[in-house]
Each structure stands twice: as structure tokens, then as C-alpha cells.
Structure 1
């Protein structure tokens, strides 16, 4: 039997204030004065000097602020790559992504596309990337997506929402500094944290489950319960635990897969522009049939933090729009297989999916 030989993030710093070590981390990686470091940063930090003033710019290094109001698109990656190629004398020394899952995914995708020909949409799928990415660093400022540790970069393309899943996608260096997560609004903190929680439920109840995934998944799930259900945590303790839950949740799906919620939320992002964490929550809220215990606990967390989910999203969609969503969802075969087994098509039919979407 042949086992998948997955890459890990080779270097990681964990601890409050770890961001301040960025300069010493990058210095040995600089290829030349004309090979800049490019910082891809969530534009929510545009006027945040507390963070931006600590970025160690030198020579022709530059910051590119990116909007993360919508899910990252393949066209956005192509535009960033073109901009970098046209404005730098040499290939960059590295790409540093700072922000939530969208900014981190953009940084991973850009680092890949700087060394691979064609357009980003050509690489949506599994193991399509031919050449190693340039050096890239991930610095999450919100916890939950697992983007800092995963081998995928999830993008909306012209035809689908699907990741660039490859051995060249994971970051070469990650800095986990929970202090960077201190000013997140409650609803965003909840939705992104639930992405991690739902990762765990889908991984731990899936048919792909193994001891590797189970070990990381159980750890992440327990941390999520502590963060979202206990009153005894301090803010700092909660921030650090959720950051580690995100890391372990991302690791838990490295050797397994996500499931029904992710398969159904991808089309919500593609067609309606619903942010990933919000979409997962909207879908998961209706999945008692597949994850009875997980959904029960999710509803308790939702109630505790007074979260109100959007309703009626699909009520006024045309039939062809619903059909498009169903088509995108059904194409995510590994997710359904993990959730429901080899005979998943006998359980999940287009009719069944349509009924579920119309509840949302």
C-alpha cells in the first residue's frame, strides 16, 4: 500500500510578540537588493499603524493591501502576480501573507503562480502544480481557517470554487502571534472559529478517519469547546487556545477531508459571495441528519454568543442558479466520500441538495 507523503510547515514560531522576530527570520532569505519581499496584507490593517509600522521594509520591499470582503478569486491572484512581475526587477525573495484565511490563501497562490506558467484557474484541483513556489510566510491575524497550515489555497474561479491543493502550497514559515487577533469583532471571531470547529466534526465523523487525523481533530475540538463554551478563560488564554485549535484543525484534515458543510458552502461563496466561515455556519445549522451531536453543540455555541445567522439566502434564486450550486457541490467528490462513504450518490441526490438549499 502506498501512503500519501504530505509536506508539513517546516518552521513555526508560537507566542505573543513573535511578530517582532519577522526581520531576523527574513534577513537570511533575501536573495539580493533587487529581490524584494512582498507583503500581501488584509486591507483592514491599512490604517492600523500598530501593525504596519512593525513591518521591516527595506530596499524595494513593498506592501500590497488586498480586499477580503469577498472570497479570493483566481483573477485576483493573476492580477497580483502580473503587478509583481511588472514592478520588480527580479523575482521576489518571498511573499509574506498577513491576515485571515483569504489573505493567507492569496499569499500561497501568488507564491505558486510566480513560478508556474498560465493562470491560477489552471491549477484548481489536486497536485497540478509542477514547480516549487517561492519562499512564503504566513502570519494569521484571526484563528480558525487552518489556512496557515493546510496544503490548499481555496479560490473562486470562473467555473468553480476549489483549492490549489499541492505539496508546494504550505508555507515555509508561520508566525503564530495571538496578540495579532486581539481586536477581532465578535461575529467574525465566531464565524472563523466555527470553520475550525466544523473542520473537526467533519474530519472526526468521516470515513477517511485515521489515528493521525483523529489525534489532531480531538485536540482541536476540545480547544474549541473550551473557547466557545467556557466562561473561565481570559482573553489571552482564549486567543492562544483558538490559535492552536486552528493549527490542529488544519492538521486534522491533512490526512482526511472535510464533509457535507464544506461541500455545500463552497457554492454559496461561488454564486452569492458568502464568506467561507459564514457559509459554513449557515449550512451546518441545517445538518442534524448528518452530524446530530455536532450541530447540537454548534447551536449551543451560537446561542451563548448571541449569533444570528442570515436567512432566506436561496429563497429567491432561479432554478438555473440552484442547479449551478448543486453541480458545484456534487463535483467535490472526496468531501462526499469522506462524509458518507463510497455509496454517497445514493444518499445525496440533486433533489436532496435542493431541499437543503431552500431551507437556507
Structure 2
């Protein structure tokens, strides 16, 4: 039997105030006067107390990343072209923000060393050259983007990541202080991305002891934070950050499932952001994950978060066909959820009916 040989993150630092060590962490990776480029979530634009903590040296530059919409291949290509035109080469790219910002950092780091468009690399193991040095610093917890081997991108014809051994960060900095003031709804939607990772991984056909170990711990932390804790506190920030890490690790040797496969179609057509898209879909997946959906609804009720309804109302047949095409293209997700004969179980007609319920 041939086992998958996964590349994971190179270095990890965890702790309150760990962000203060970024300068010394990246220093050995500087190449002459080639700058470090800091991709920062535009949520922090104008937040001078935070921005002033970013350790700029020499030609280093901050680029505020617009995460109003999911990352697009055209945005990746434009940033790559601008950086090459301005600097020629860079020492590295450091992503500070939520999953979209970290995915943009990974994607542009890859495209600094690979020719063509990022759309050419949407798929599995298409990247040929190692990226420039890259660091992930999450300011939201849940996506697992800090540890995953993919970057989720919307391209001209599909929403699909650049999945490769060259994609994971060389370094991640996990500082729970950075997530302290996250907006409540956004924090919930992103945390539920982690929760849904765990349910899909633990109930999938790809499951083994490696993915189960991480998935069970991440699930336990999510349940404690969102069902048992009376109020949000610093301890919750720390535990959710570790749940995100473990949830991301749980799918490194496994896969996600139905919610992610369906939400990718929503995102491609409607621009629905990943966390809330997963929530919208998972809310309707009792037939696939009955216990998980029941518990999810309890979390939604306890934290008084709104899950949008009827978002596909009024869409055309052509719209539904586009979403179905994107979703059906995610074969590993469907196989993990339903087994090798998934195409017999998830027909286009059944998927259409599911989209109509959202």
C-alpha cells in the first residue's frame, strides 16, 4: 500500500505576544535588500496602533489586502505583477489576517516563482517550483488556512485551490491576542468553518487515526467554546486558535465533505464568503450529518447568530448549472463524504434540489 506523504508547516510559534518575535523570526530569511512584503487584511487599515507593530526594514512594504470578496486568480496575478515591477524579487511574503489574506499570501508567494497565471495551477500538484519564503499570522481562528496545503481561489471557470507540497507556510505565528477584538458574527462564521471541517473529516471515508486524533480534539474544543462556556474570554481565544490548527491538521490526511463541496459553488456564483457559505449549507445537511447539524443549530441559537436563508431564490437554470459544475468538480470532497461511488449517490438533480433549499 502506498501512503500519502504530506508536507506540513515548517515552524510554529504559539503564545500571547508571539507577534513581537516576527522581526527576529524573518531576519535570517532576508536576501540582501530584497524586501519582505506584509499582506495585511484591510480590516486593519487605519489601525495605527496595530500597523505600527509590523517590523518594517529597508524596502519592506505593507500591502492591504481587500478581502471584501473571496480571493480571485486575477487579484493574485495583479499583485504578483506589481511586486515584480517594483522590486524584481522579494525575500518573502507575510500574510496577516483571516483565511483569505493568508491564502493570498500563499498564492502570491507561489506565483513569484512560477510562470503564467495562478488559474493555471488550480488543482492538485500542478505547482512546479518552490515559493518564496512565506509566513502566516492569523487574526481570526477557524479556517485552518495557516496549516493547509491549499489556497482557495476563484478563477475564470472554477473555485479551486492550488493544492501542492509547495503551498504550506514555512512559518506560522499563532498569537491569540490578535484575535481578541474580532467581530462576533465573523468570529462565529470562521469558527464554524473549523467545526464543519471536523464533522466532515470525522464522518468521512478517508478517516484514519492521524486525522481522527486532530479532528476529535478540535471538535472537543469547539463544543467547549460554543456550547459550554458561559461567556467569551481570553481562554476561548486561545482554545479556538488551537482548534483551528488541529482542525486544519485533521484534513491534512483526510478531506472535507458535502458542506464545502456545495459552498464552493455558492462562492463561485454569488461571491458568498467561505465561512458564512459553509454555515448556510451545513444548516441544511441533516440527511448527511444529522448529529453535527443538530449541534450546530444549538450553537447558532445560543450565540444568537443569523444564518442567511433563501439566498438561491430567483436564480436561473444557468446559474444552478454553474454552481453544480463547480461543486461536481471537487471529486475528492465527494468521495470522502459518500465513498467511491459518490457519482451514483450525488446526481446533478439531487444537488440542484439541495441548492434550491439554501
* Shorter-chain TM-score range: over 0.9
**Any idea what SS the aligned residue of 2:59 has?**
coil
Residue 255 of structure 1 aligns to a residue in which SS? Answer: coil
Q: 1:55 & 1:330 partners in 2: Cα distance?
A: 42
CA distance in 2, matches of 1:292, 1:310: 20
Shift of 1:231: 2.4
TM-score (ref. length: structure 2): 0.99
Aligned length: 358
Residues in 1 aligned to 2:132 and 2:13: alpha-carbon distance in whole angstroms: 20
Please name the residue that 2:271 is paired with.
Answer: 273
Q: Which runs of 5+ in 1 are unaligned?
A: none
- Once the two structures are superposed, the pairs formed by residues 55-134 of structure 1 within 5 Å of their partners are 55-88=54-87, 90-134=88-132
1:160 deviates by 0.5
Deviations 1:218-274 (A, max 9, x none): 010000001111225651100000000000000000011000000000011110010
In structure 1, C-alpha distance between the alignment counterparts of 2:270 and 2:37, rounded to whole Å: 31
| Residue 31 in structure 1 maps to residue 28 in structure 2 | no
Aligned to 2:297: 299
Partner of 2:45: 46
Distance (Å, rounded) in 1 between the aligned partners of 2:355 and 2:4: 34
CA deviations on 1:73-119 (whole Å, 9 max, x unpaired) are 0000000000100011x411110000000000000000000000010
Report the Cα offset of residue 50 of structure 1. 2.3
Which residue matches 1:7?
Answer: 7
Partner of 1:168: 166
Question: C-alpha distance in 1, partners of 2:85/2:66?
Answer: 21
Q: Deviations over 1:248-302 (max 9, x none)?
A: 0000000110000000000111100100000000000000000000000000000
Paired with 1:234 and 1:67, the residues of 2 have a C-alpha distance of: 28
Q: Aligned partners of 1:176, 1:183: CA distance in 2, in Å?
A: 15
Offset, 1:307: 1.1
Other structure's SS at 2:160 match: strand
Q: Post-superposition, which runs of at least 4 consecutive aligned residues in structure 1 deviate over 3 A?
A: none
Matched, 1:259 2:245: no
- Could you tell me which of 317, 320, 328 is aligned with 1:319? 317
Which whole-Å deviations, capped at 9, do the CAs of 1:27-48 have from their partners, x for residues lacking one?
1111112x00001111110111
Distance 2:232 2:311 in 1: 36
Q: What SS does the aligned partner of 1:162 have?
A: coil
TM-score by length of 1: 0.98
How far apart are the structure 1 equivalents of 2:228 and 2:115? 49
SS class of match (2:129): coil
Consecutive unaligned residues of structure 2, counting only runs of 5 or more, are: none
